[in-house]
Structure 1
Amino acid sequence: MSQELEIEFKNLLTADEYDRLLTHFHVQQEQIVRQENHYFDTSQQHLKKAMSGLRIRILPSHIECTLKERSTDNAYLETTDRLSDDAAAEMIQGKGFHAPSVKERLLAMNIQPEQLQLFGTLATNRVALEYEGGLLFLDHSFYLQCEDYEVEYEANDEQTGSDVFQRFLAAHHIEKRDTKKKIARFAEALAQQSE
């Protein structure tokens, strides 16, 4: 189990801006890592109402279950448990909950793990780059019949991170756009699809 405060800043990109950043940072194909995010909530959307999110992320090297609880506008408390292939498969199929630290946090929020259900999957091609004391991510995501592009910056300090991110956007002539988290963009696309 790990628990950390994640401070992040994000901005949607156009396809052209994304391509320009890949070129600017000389990104090679082997630097792009595919990850799959499986999102969960209760039928009453308890996590969404608590401004939190729960996912199982499948990476080439490992699988993890993460609960994100909002702390401030740009910070989230993340509780993460590593999962085996079998444990992840059972959780995705709704046949058990094998993330003990995440379960403890859910119970503290009065959410029973058996109430959770998978509501969708989003795949992301991600590039991670060290940048000015933090991590810069360039993401190309695919979900439902949608795809989008995003830049994300993770920092150790909220004010410093905000300053670095604003300078980054200005230096690359990228318009500041109100950007929701991936799970929220997925949920909105799902709601529009079912209308």
Structure 2
Amino acid sequence: MSQQLEIEYKTLLTKKEFQQVQAYFQITKADFFTQTNTYFDTPQNALKKGHYSLRIRQWNTHAEQTLKVPQKIGKLEVTDPLSADEARRLVQQAAVKTSGEVGKYLQKIKIDPTELYSFGTLTTHRYEKHLAAGILALDCSVYYDLTDYELELEVTDAKVGKAAFNRLLQELNIIEKPAKSKIQRMMMGKHAEKFHK
């Protein structure tokens, strides 16, 4: 179990910019790892209305369940580790683990964990690199029939981190393009798919 403040700056990238960042940091295909997020809410969208988000994130060998809680700056991440098997079972059942710190926090904000259901999945191919300013992540995310590209810098100090992110974009010759959260982009993709059916 952990609680951690998440402060991150990000920009969407074009495919060409994504390839440009790969070349700049000499990133190969083998340097990426894959993670899959499954998102949860109540039928009344209680989490979304409160600006919370809840996901199970799966890697090959392990997984975690994270509730993101809005703060004045950044988000508090409340996380419980899960085994790979436990996560697979929960995702198949469209359910979350009701014990642990996430379960306690859900009770604190008056959300019944048994009411939660999964409403979407997004898979990300990610490269991470530790820089002096924080953790750099280069993402290629796939959801429904869409693929998008994103550059993130996760930092511990908002002001210092923003300046470092701006310098990085300048070095890379990339203009910042506002990036909605992955959960928001996945939902937009889900609605677009329904519209085109």
3-state SS of paired residue (2:174): coil
Provide the aligned C-alpha RMSD in A: 1.5
Distance 1:143 1:95, change over 3 A: closer
Work out whether 1:162 is the aligned partner of 2:162: yes
Distance 1:128 1:95, change over 3 A: closer
Structure 1: give runs of 5+ residues left out of the alignment.
Answer: none
Q: Which stretch of structure 1 is more off in the superposition, 167-176 or 132-141?
A: 167-176
1:34 equivalent in structure 2: 34
Work out whether 1:8 is the aligned partner of 2:8: yes
2:134 equivalent in structure 1: 134
Spell out structure 1 runs of 4+ moving beyond 4 A.
none
2:90 equivalent in structure 1: 91
C-alpha separation in 2, matches of 1:114 and 1:4: 25
C-alpha separation in 1, matches of 2:54 and 2:95: 16
Alpha-carbon distance, 1:165 to partner: 0.6
C-alpha separation in 2, matches of 1:152 and 1:60: 22
C-alpha separation in 2, matches of 1:153 and 1:102: 25
**Residues 2 and 79, structure 1, Cα contact 8 Å, conserved in 2:** yes
Alpha-carbon distance, 1:91 to partner: 2.1
C-alpha separation in 2, matches of 1:126 and 1:96: 24
**Residues 98 and 114, structure 2, Cα contact 8 Å, conserved in 1:** no
TM-score by length of 2: 0.93
Q: Which stretch of structure 1 is more off in the superposition, 13-22 or 55-64?
A: 55-64
Percent of aligned positions that are identical: 38
Alpha-carbon distance, 1:169 to partner: 1.2
**Residues 81 and 99, structure 1, Cα contact 8 Å, conserved in 2:** no
1:152 equivalent in structure 2: 152
Alpha-carbon distance, 1:178 to partner: 1.5
C-alpha separation in 2, matches of 1:10 and 1:95: 30
C-alpha separation in 2, matches of 1:158 and 1:36: 27
C-alpha separation in 2, matches of 1:7 and 1:137: 13
TM-score by length of 1: 0.94
Work out whether 1:51 is the aligned partner of 2:48: no
Alpha-carbon distance, 1:7 to partner: 0.8
**Residues 6 and 76, structure 1, Cα contact 8 Å, conserved in 2:** yes
Distance 1:96 1:15, change over 3 A: closer
| Counterpart residue identity of residue 90, structure 1 | R
Distance 1:191 1:103, change over 3 A: same
